[in-house]
Every structure is written in structure tokens, then in C-alpha cells.
Amino acid sequence: MSEPSVPGGRGAVLDLPCGETKRVRELDLGKREFDCPCGDSHAVVMDVHPPDRFLPEFLVDILQETIETTSDDMPEFGTAHLMGIVLEEFPEAVVSEDVSEDGELGAGIVWVTDFDSRRLHEIIVELVVELMEHAVSHADDDDVVSEFESKMLQFDVGEFVDQYRAQRDLDPEPYM
């Protein structure tokens, strides 16, 4: 967990999965990852980052139309939901902080992962594919299920992530 805001405007401090700490105010809206004293890079995600940071817009649209959310604060499927899926799957590798009271940051929630931004991108795509596979498995049409499973066997997550990041120019530096 993290410690609460510190007097003097220094803000919250995250206890990272690697054992190091990071002041939330050292992060900014455009940062996708940072190099840590532990020697690794850690991905940074904020609730204001659009989900199309990770997934094509057409797929985000489908997920938003299909998935009902139960939160009044986040009525539409988005980045917070994607990070919730990651957190559920990798609880020891993700830390988060509610920074909604910190007007200088410009975000409501920040997540830092034990993975770099590229690996996080792969994980999100893998988890969304699993979610889609589960949904399709409930279809009454065996041909649709077989076709989807066949296409997923041909789908290369790493190649998709490489192409998507190249198309969107997603290096670890600011994307906004």
C-alpha cells in the first residue's frame, strides 16, 4: 500500500512491487513507464489514459457496448476496468493509489506495475482475449465458437502488440 499525502505538497508515496518507493507526483499524465532503482522499468497507467492505449478503438467500442459496469463513478468500460482485470490476475504485481484529492496530478487513480509498459500491454491483450473466448464459449452456435477458436489460435499477441505500438508510436515516453 502507499502512505497518505505528506504535508508540504510532496504527495502520496507508492510502495512498489519490487520493494522500492515512488512519489506519485513524480509521475505525469504522459508517462507510460519509468526506470526504477531496482534495475527494472515499471509501467504507469492513469485512469485518464484512454483504453485505446492498449486496444483498437473498434474493440473498445464493442467492449463498451457489451460489458455492463456496476459503478456509478465509472459507468463505461475503460482503462480502470482493464487495470482491474490485471490487478485481479496479478495482485502482487500491481499497486494503485487514489489521487483524486491531488489537484496537481490530473488523474483520479494511478497504477504502477512490476512489468514494463510493453509487457503490461501484452497482458491486457491476453486477458481481453480470454474474456472474449469466455463470452464466445457461451454462444449457441458451435460454428461461431469453432471459428473464433480457430482465429485465436492464429492470433499472435506479441506481434499484435508490436504492430499496434508501432502504429500508435507507443514508446515509453509521453503519448498525449
Per DSSP (E only), the strands in the chain are 2-3, 13-15, 21-23, 33-35, 41-46, 94-98, 109-113
Residue 46 covered by a domain = yes
Predicted structure pTM score: 0.83
Residue 3 covered by a domain = no
> Could you identify the residue written with the cell 460454428?
143
Which pLDDT value is given to residue 5?
41
Query: Alpha-carbon distance 85 to 83, whole Å?
Result: 5
For the chain (176 residues), the mean pLDDT of every run of 10, in chain order, is 42 91 89 95 94 93 79 75 95 94 83 96 95 81 84 90 85 46
Identify the DSSP state of 73: S
Which pLDDT value is given to residue 134?
83
Residue 172 covered by a domain = no
Which pLDDT value is given to residue 170?
53
Structural domain count, the chain: 1
Residue 4 covered by a domain = no
Residue 135 covered by a domain = yes
Domain span holding position 96: 11-166
Residue 110 covered by a domain = yes
Pairing assessment for the beta strands 13-15 and 2-3 based on DSSP bridges? antiparallel
Residue 5 covered by a domain = no
Residue 83 covered by a domain = yes
Q: Which amino acid is at 114?
A: D
Which pLDDT value is given to residue 15?
95
